[in-house]
Structures are given as C-alpha cells and as structure tokens.
C-alpha cells in the first residue's frame, strides 16, 4: 500500500527532551521539509547552548489540566506524543506514573482537538500486549491488548490505547498513527532493560528463551518522520527482523547466562527487594519469561518501511557504542 505525501506546516513534539524526543526534534530541524514551525515541549527547560535553530521550546507538564490551552496556542497540525515514564525514578509511584502516562495522554488529546490538529502520532509499546504464557509466538496488531496490572508501563499503555480507540470513534477528524515498539536500542541508550546487560551475568528463566525483538532508534525516528510527512494512519508494530534470545545475548556479551527456575527466581527477587538490594520484584519473572514478540509484517508491507537493522544488528550496534567501538 502507498500513502500520499503530506505537507504539514507545523508539528509539536511532547517529551521532546527525552531520549527519543531529542532525536525526532533534531531530525525534523535538520530537514524540516514543509514545516514552518517545530515546537519541542518538555517538562524540563532546554539549555540555551543545546537549543536548535528553527525550533520553539516550550516548558509544560502533561499532567497540567491547562495543557490543552498551551497546545492550542501553538496551533500544531501534527502532534507527536512521546512523553511517558519509561524508567521511573526512585521517588516515582504508581499514581505519578498513571498521571503522566494515561491522564497526560488525555490532556494531549484534548489539546489536539482544541488546536484543530489533523493527526496524532503516539508512541505506544509492545508491552501493551502484556507478558502472558498464552501469547502467540509472534504478535500481530490484531491480537488483543491485555497488558499486566503488575507492570505500570504495560498496564498504562493498554489503557491509553483503549482511550485512543474511543477518541477515534468520537473525533474521527483527528487521525491517529500508533506505533507499538519493541525494545528500542541505539547509541547511548540507557534504561531498565540496558541495565540488565550491565550485570556480571544475564539472569533468565529456565525453560524460556526470553526472546527480545529490538528496533534501532534511528528506525523509530524514520517511521515517525514518515508519519509526519505522509497520510499514513493506523497501528503498527515496530521491530527489526527476527528476535534474539537471552542466551544468545549473553554469548554476544561474553557473559555467563544463568537460567533459574521461575519459583526460585521469584523468591530470590522478593528477598532482594525487601533487603533493598534491587529495584526489581518477583513480578519481573513474567517480564523475562513471557516476552511479547512482535511481528513486523504490517510495518513492511502496509506502512512500507523496511527497518535498516534487524533485532540482532540493532543489539550489536548498541553494544558497539556502549563499548566505545561505534563510528566516530
């Protein structure tokens, strides 16, 4: 399927100061095409020395009930919503995460409607499918979103997508592009998943391959850019070709792989968390044991985007940069 080119004159990016947001802003600023106005919105002020020419920087909190007015003032035609709590800090709690992830998205949607925006591009996650023993071997966009109540991020992504479905019905004039990404890796990635790779050994669950689907961060930026400058809408899994199992990751990292029985691992994590020795609790067993593996067929055949790197290549690229072997 081919999509017509679009020539928007204004775009607003939430979460513009985050890991992915900075890359999207930089990409659009470097090659703005038809864009006359690029608005980078984040809760943190952007230092003067890192501000890019041609970008308007706005400080705003997605939890603010006045966000709709702030967005409307910028008059964006396209809104790229990236603001989320992917790796909560030590002082975070479930209420805060819900306010950012779910209520914050509702405020953004209200802003889109008030501004008369024509499209919302939302960064969802494969975590919305949930970590379940009966997940299909490869999940397509038509499979149910079941989330996991024990994982705030997974549960909130599910709730947001349910909200977006209601808004598609009530506000069909606001088109939506929803991107369910696998593990995003690239130069400088640092989050709770990459923290697993920094341990002296990789911990796994006996009897589970724990396959990861990985998407190169530059591929994510490429997909978002295509979303901004074309009429493409719909829901797409973002993943490089193939998957890579924890055991194979350990081999590439040249580290021991230690698969433990699920019950033993739950008990160990419960104790370690109680002692304050880890931030991970027994619920993390499901995170490793039943990883959602995303089928990228629709991304390639309908959206028309072929990821530049496979899951394995994106993982190896991340490691090369982490270890100082990346391109200068």
Token output for 153: 């991020």
Per the domain annotation, does 80 fall within a domain? Answer: yes
Per the domain annotation, does 46 fall within a domain? Answer: yes
Per the domain annotation, does 152 fall within a domain? Answer: yes
Taken as a whole, the chain contains a residue count of 328
Domain residues for the domain of 53 are 10-187+215-239+293-308
CA distance 151 to 97: 11
Residue 326: CA atoms inside 13 Å, Cβ hemisphere, count? 15
Map residue 276 onto helix, strand or coil: coil
Per the domain annotation, does 252 fall within a domain? Answer: no
40-67 pLDDT, tens digit each: 999 999 999 999 999 999 999 999 999 9
Return the bridge partners of 124, or none: 180
pLDDT-above-70 percentage for the chain: 96
CA distance 305 to 310: 13
Per the domain annotation, does 274 fall within a domain? Answer: no
Map residue 252 onto helix, strand or coil: helix
- Residue 328, pLDDT score: 46
Per the domain annotation, does 192 fall within a domain? Answer: no
**Residue 11 scores a pLDDT above 70:** yes
Contacts for 104-108 with beta carbons within 8 Å, 24 or more apart?
104/62, 104/63, 104/67, 105/62, 105/81, 105/160, 105/163, 105/164, 106/163, 107/62, 107/63, 107/64, 107/65, 107/67, 107/68, 108/14, 108/62, 108/67, 108/71, 108/79, 108/81, 108/83
Q: Which residue has 């703005």 as its token pair? A: 32
Per the domain annotation, does 228 fall within a domain? Answer: yes
Into how many domains does the chain fold?
A: 1
142-171 pLDDT, tens digit each: 999 999 998 899 999 999 999 999 999 999
> What CATH number has the domain bearing residue 125?
3.40.50.720
Per the domain annotation, does 122 fall within a domain? Answer: yes
Of 327, 322, 298, nearest to 223 by C-alpha is 298
226-245 pLDDT, tens digit each: 999 999 999 999 999 999 99
């Amino acid at each position: 399927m081919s999509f017509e080119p679009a020539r928007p004159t204004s775009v607003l990016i939430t979460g513009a100061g985050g890991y992915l947001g900075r890359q999207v802003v930089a990409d659009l600023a470097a090659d703005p095409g038809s864009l006359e106005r690029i608005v980078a919105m984040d809760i943190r002020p952007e230092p003067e020395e890192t501000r890019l020419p041609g970008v308007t920087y706005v400080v705003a909190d997605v939890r603010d009930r006045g966000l709709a007015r702030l967005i409307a003032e910028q008059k964006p035609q396209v809104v790229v919503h990236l603001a989320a709590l992917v790796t909560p800090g030590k002082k975070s709690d479930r209420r805060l995460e819900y306010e950012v992830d779910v209520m914050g998205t509702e405020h953004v949607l209200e802003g889109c409607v008030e501004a008369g925006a024509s499209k919302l591009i939302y960064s969802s996650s494969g975590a919305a499918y949930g970590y379940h023993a009966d997940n299909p071997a490869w999940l397509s966009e038509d499979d149910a979103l079941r989330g996991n109540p024990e994982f705030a991020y997974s549960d909130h992504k599910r709730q947001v997508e349910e909200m977006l479905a209601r808004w598609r019905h009530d506000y069909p004039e606001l088109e939506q592009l929803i991107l369910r990404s696998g593990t995003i890796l690239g130069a400088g990635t640092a989050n709770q998943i990459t923290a697993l790779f920094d341990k002296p050994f990789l911990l796994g669950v006996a009897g589970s391959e724990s396959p990861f689907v990985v998407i190169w961060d530059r591929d994510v930026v490429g997909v978002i850019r295509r979303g901004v400058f074309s009429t493409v809408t719909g829901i797409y899994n973002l993943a490089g070709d193939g998957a890579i199992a924890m055991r194979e990751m350990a081999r590439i990292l040249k580290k021991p792989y230690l698969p433990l029985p699920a019950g033993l691992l739950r008990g160990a994590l419960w104790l370690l968390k109680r002692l304050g020795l880890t931030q991970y609790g027994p619920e993390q067993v499901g995170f490793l044991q039943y990883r959602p593996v995303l089928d990228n067929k629709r991304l390639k055949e309908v959206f028309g985007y072929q990821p530049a790197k496979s899951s394995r290549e994106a993982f190896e690229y991340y490691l090369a940069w982490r270890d100082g072997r990346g391109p200068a």
